[in-house]
Amino acid sequence: MSVSDHPATRPDQNGATPGPAPVLVAGTGTGSAGSGAGTALILFPRTDALPAAWAGPVTAGLDPGDAAQLLAAVRPCPLLPEHGEGWFGRPGLAGHRLRSEPQPAGQPAAGRDWSPLFKPTALTHEGGRARIEAADPDAGLRLVTEAEAVPGGAVRARHTVTNLGADPYVVDQLEVVFPLPGRVEEVLDFTGRQTGERIPQRHRLGDGLWLREGRRGHTGHDAATMEVAGVPGFGFGHGEVYGVHVAWSGNTVHRVERVPSGLGISEPRPGTGDGPRERMQPGATTIGGGELLLPGEIALAEGQSYTTPWVYLAASGDGLDGLSGQFHGYLRAQPAHPRSPRPVNLNVWEAVYFRHDLDTLTALADAAADLGVERYVLDDGWFRGRRDDRAGLGDWWVDEDVWPGGLHRLIDHVRSRGLEFGLWIEPEMVNPDSGLYRAHPDWILSAGHRRPPLQRHQLVLDLTRAPVRDYLRDRISALLSDYDISYIKWDCNRDIIDAGSGTVLGAPAAHGQAQAVYDLLDELRARHPQVEWESCAAGGGRIDVAILERVQRVWTSDMTDALARQPIQRWTGQLVPPEYLGAHVSAPFSHQTGRYMPMSLRGATALFGHFGIEADITQSSPDDLAELADWIRLYQRHRALIHSGRVVRLDTADDTAWMYGVVAADRSAALMSYVQLDEPRNDQPAALRVPGLDPARRYRITDVTPGPYQPRRPNLGEPRPGGFTVSGAALAEVGLAIAPQRTLTPVVVFIEQQ
């Protein structure tokens, strides 16, 4: 094995040289107190096997050589655990080789090379990147593992397996696995449904495998989103935690596993004349994931390769906020990250649904402009035959029966009021009642000759076919060229069932479909760089790092009831920073739940995201409009802070009230909220503490909550906007005392360095 550009080997206490020195891959980010924080991954090269690994939070003075000595008594798990090395848990690679030549009777045509054992051939390390090359000549396979630190503090890794044999090799699974310390015994991840995304679930970790599979063809409302394992009792601001995310918008696997110790394995004693020694294979705890592959989906011909999605690991001693800070830092460093202030959106869907009328829609634009709205989005219903959700998908021409002369009159009016114009599309789907389907019924994903079941009256177009992609690219590109459109809401309203491609009669194509979505979106982005993109999948059904690397916004959920939206946004923020999270003020009576929500809660919920409106504001009361305008002005005044600061969520004993907000990266300011979600359990005041400010600086606290003043708000001096000043240390340790508020009442305070 060759090793380049990493620390020199060091002799042990007896003067012997054990081999190449360990390699450290470490990211740096921002911790809860503003100090450097990130994730460390140490690789321990071995001449006879894949490098073992250790992962944990970055610590000042961490020496990989010291770690190697401390871990010498055990054999840490590599990033690809192998059955052939004595690993009795879920293997990193599962697959087998097909026999292309005819076999004698009774001989299987498949099943060879199912237990590869890779030997390293090279390990290179440069800066924050490491590359491990390995091969199993007997199995005819080559493996490359890449690991690197990323902006924000996390690390990521991926595998590439290449078939060197003449017969095809079927990859059943290929997953990246990171080791965890044995003290990690509690797991958190998410489930959900449409209008109820990112529902947290926690449990104690026992022996065995905790496996979360996503089989919907896109990320899914019930996606694990992030697999978190930690020392029991971890919270938002405290505890040792490890979070893994698979950056893929198709089928995925997230896994946590604790494997008991294995049987003894005989090993030679290097440098001695003694016989082999018996060494116990220790138990291990791991976390990881990869793409979930359908049967036979990846069959590699000679020379072909398969590469896993990037699998991200964040480790923190600062609890869940420490993990989210690392992922937020990464996404904010991406080229596609929105660079301009996030404009206030008005989406017309819940205002008009399919009832498109020029006078109504221009009146909405006028009302929006008067409030300070900056972007107008025309949702579903503008294209041919689209009078309800049963027809029209696939026919991406403006419906001349509804819009004589096209959309120019509406767009010109919207632009004349100073608003950007955006449009809704759903490129991946087709209604059977459409001109496209009648002309090309074979353009759908299907497992064979049968038609898949309808979902929401839709079928899925086979984007793995070049003619389908070309058609969609050309139609969407024509719209973006013909009209002054600066924003596209890209929807995906159904799951993929029977995801087979017609290119190879019914062969699995979920992998190819996900990649084709990326390719189509990437090509459109390159052709129309002035356009911003929103990812929507019946709400929040496709939210992952891979899609976020390509868009400027996600629609967090089709649930716009403010009370129900609070937990959805709270937990989606575990991965996604606020500037991506579409958060809209809806009608007073929710269209989803029927509940009444006061404007104060609707405004406060939208404030800590990408603020928008999803209601018929032409029917709003003057008082509601006046208060809504105040919330819009508050958002515009503080959006630079909200969309660049570090998110903090406070752990509270009484979960009828939540406290959260953002702290500026330079610790100069914070915007915090207290939200009374339900009747409090007792009448004790809460302490709104603000971690991460400079303890020595003085800060002025001001109540900036729009709307009528409520008598239970904190007394911040007279007049109320004046506030008072305290130290950052007092804010972190004592906190602002807030009495229990009326149910569904928020308090928003601005904290600014003096």
Catalytic residue IDs? 491, 558
Nearest alpha carbon to residue 240 among 200, 286, 183:
183
Question: How many Cα atoms are found within 13 Å in the side-chain-facing hemisphere of 49?
Answer: 18
My answer on whether omega of the bond before 200 falls inside 30° of 0, hence cis, is: no
Q: What is the four-CA torsion angle of 557, 559, 564, 568, rounded to 10 degrees?
A: 0
236 three-state secondary structure: coil
Whole-number Å distance between alpha carbons of 241 and 250: 26
Residue type, 449: H
Distance CA 407, CA 385 (A): 15
3 state SS of 105:
coil
Tokens for 108, please give them: 């299987």
d(CA 526, CA 528): 6
Q: Which of 660, 692, 657, 663 has the alpha carbon at shortest distance from 676?
A: 657
Q: Are 587 and 615 in contact (CB under 8 A)?
A: yes
502 three-class SS: helix
Q: Distance between CA atoms of 668 and 700, rounded to whole angstroms?
A: 11
Instruction: Say how far apart CA 255 and CA 244 lie, in whole Å.
Output: 9
Alpha-carbon distance of 613 to 387, in angstroms, equals 23
DSSP secondary structure letters along 122-149: EEEEETTEEEEEEEETTTTEEEEEEEEE
Q: Is 589 helix (H, G, I), strand (E, B) or coil?
A: strand
358-371 and 622-642 helices, crossing angle to 10° = 60
DSSP structure string for 601-630: HHHHHHHTSEEEEES-GGGS-HHHHHHHHH
Distance CA(85)–CA(265), nearest Å, equals 9
Residues facing 726 on adjacent strands:
699
577 half-sphere exposure, CB direction, 13 A CA radius: 30
| Sequence-ordered list of residues with C-beta below 8 angstroms from that of 526, at least 6 positions apart, any chain | none
What end-to-end distance do the CA atoms of the chain give, in Å?
A: 59
Q: Output the six-digit token pair for 419.
A: 């608003």
Neighbours of 150 (CB within 10 A): 23
Q: Which helix (H) or strand (E) holds 476?
A: helix 466-482
Tokens of 647: 């998110």
Say if CB 715 and CB 723 are below 8 A apart: no
Looking at the DSSP bridge assignments, the partners of residue 288 are 177, 255
Angle, alpha carbons 577-348-637 (nearest 5°): 45
Q: What are phi and psi of 493, to 5 degrees?
A: -95, 10
